[in-house]
Amino acid sequence: MGSIFSQKPEAFGLDISDRSLKMVKLAKTKGELKLSSFGNWPVPPGIIEEGEIKDKKRFGEIIKKVSQEIKQKTKLKSAICSLPEEKSFLDVIYLPQVKKEELREAVSYEIENYIPLPVDQVYFDCEIIRPISTQQKQLEVLIVAAPKKLIDDYLKALKTGGLKPIVFELECLAIARALIKGERTQKPVLLIDFGETRTTFIIFSGQSLRFTSTIPISSQKLTESISKTLKVNLKKAEQLKQKEGLEGKKEVFEAMIPPLTDLVEQIKTHLDYYHSHEKKDRLKKDGRELAKILLTGGGANLKGLVGFLIQNLKINVELGNPWINILKSPLREVPQLSYKKSLSYTTALGLALRGIYGY
């Protein structure tokens, strides 16, 4: 929690995606949180691909421009930045009891069993999490890792562009901080971030994330499918997607069926994986059954998507509320940022919360 004695600088959240940069700054006054500033900047194709900076020069130019605008809005340059899911790793591992100060070393011996890179090529972090398993003798440890090269590239570009990245955080952790009330659940919840270029699955249970995975099925794929099937350009297809969704013209609905079927299959695969995972057996009985799916990301705004998923998955599906840990219940939007738009800002809101509550 934040402290009045904290020397840590105020910071904003910066969500770095393949096709956009999004910033949120929260402020705390008289114990209440409020939105102090936000912004969204497009990133043209080919500059960042699957989280990797492909064109350093152009990315640098974008950061320079964006950092000037952010400084005007917030007077700050300290940023809590997201790391792309595609290139990062997260797992929960089980270790024999070790002293807290020996944890990092213990993890460094184990981590190569869980990630596909040598330990000297990654930055990693670890944290003991409250156990939800029945095997209380072992420690449950959340490990996260990302390639050094990836982080060093981001660090260099952001610094050169005039920002001060003080924390890099996996996007899934920021999403969970934004969507899970009080950051704890009785039963596991599946969070799905349906974005422009990717969809991320996140299982959260107890007080921690348990699993994450990212696939290339995305809202953009729906637009492309409409464009191809109905022989309209991408701009028109985007308009049709947003206007008609799954509840309007039949031909638009039908044009989106192939990628939506892929999405449903992927959700089923992830649910099957979760249910059959060996770690499941370690869970207490009442902690196994999935409570619900929470949808977020701009793509979650597709009209009729919630109903479509409920029908095809036979599971409780709801839209998430990325303000749940910021505003008083049941508020889910602020005058400057509608609920629909807020779904695109879930990651940035989660990062901004970390900027408020310490890092």
Ligand X SMILES: Nc1ncnc2c1ncn2[C@@H]1O[C@H](COP(=O)(O)OP(=O)(O)OP(=O)(O)O)[C@@H](O)[C@H]1O
The answer to whether residue 220 forms part of the interface with ligand X (CB under 6 A) is yes
Residue 325 interacts with, from Mg ion, ligand X, none (CB under 5-8 Å by kind): none
Q: How far is the CB of 85 from Mg ion (least distance, A)?
A: 9
Residue 198 binds: one of ligand X, Mg ion, none (C-beta under 5 to 8 A by kind):
ligand X
How would you label 95-122 residue by residue, b for 16+ Cβ within 10 Å and e otherwise?
beeeeeeebeebbeeebeeebebeeeeb
Residue type at position 250: K
The site that binds ligand X (CB under 6 A) totals a number of residues, namely 21
For 20-77, where are the E strands, in sequence order? 20-29, 32-42, 48-49, 52-53
- Distance CA(254)–CA(237), nearest Å, equals 13
> Could you tell me the smallest distance in angstroms from the CB atom of residue 171 to Mg ion?
7
Of positions 197, 212, 214, 227, contacts ligand X by CB under 6 A: 197
Residues 314-353 that bind ligand X (CB under 6 A): 344
Sole binder of ligand X in the list 91, 169, 238, 244 (CB under 6 A)? 238
User: Which two tokens mark 332?
Assistant: 């889910």
| Residue 219 touches ligand X, criterion: CB under 6 A | yes
Q: Is 139 or 217 the residue whose CB approaches Mg ion more closely?
A: 217
> In what helix (H) or strand (E) does residue 65 lie, and over which residues does it extend?
helix 56-74
- Residues in the interface with Mg ion (CB under 5 A) total 2
Among residues 138, 242, 266, 312, which is the contact residue for ligand X, using CB under 6 A?
A: 242
Which residues, other chains included, contact 120 with Cβ-Cβ below 8 Å and sequence gap of 6+? Answer: none
Using CB under 5 A as the binding rule, the residues of this chain from 6 to 25 that contact Mg ion are: 17
Q: Does 195 bind Mg ion (CB under 5 A)?
A: yes
**Which residues from 177-196 bind ligand X, rule CB under 6 A?**
195-196
Which phi and psi angles does 47 have, rounded to 5°? -90, -45
Rounded to an integer, what distance in angstroms lies between the CA atom of residue 142 and that of residue 40?
Answer: 31
For residue 197, the partner it binds in Mg ion, ligand X, none, with Cβ less than 5 to 8 A by kind, is ligand X
CA separation for the pair 177, 354 (Å, rounded): 8
DSSP 118: -
Residue 198 as a binder of ligand X (CB under 6 A): the answer is yes
User: Is residue 298 part of the contact set for ligand X (CB under 6 A)?
Assistant: yes
Phi-psi region of 9 (alpha: psi -120 to 50; beta: other; left: phi over 0): beta
Q: Which residues bind ligand X (CB under 6 A)?
A: 17-20, 195-198, 218-220, 238, 241-242, 245, 297-299, 301-302, 344
Q: Which residues bind Mg ion (CB under 5 A)?
A: 17, 195
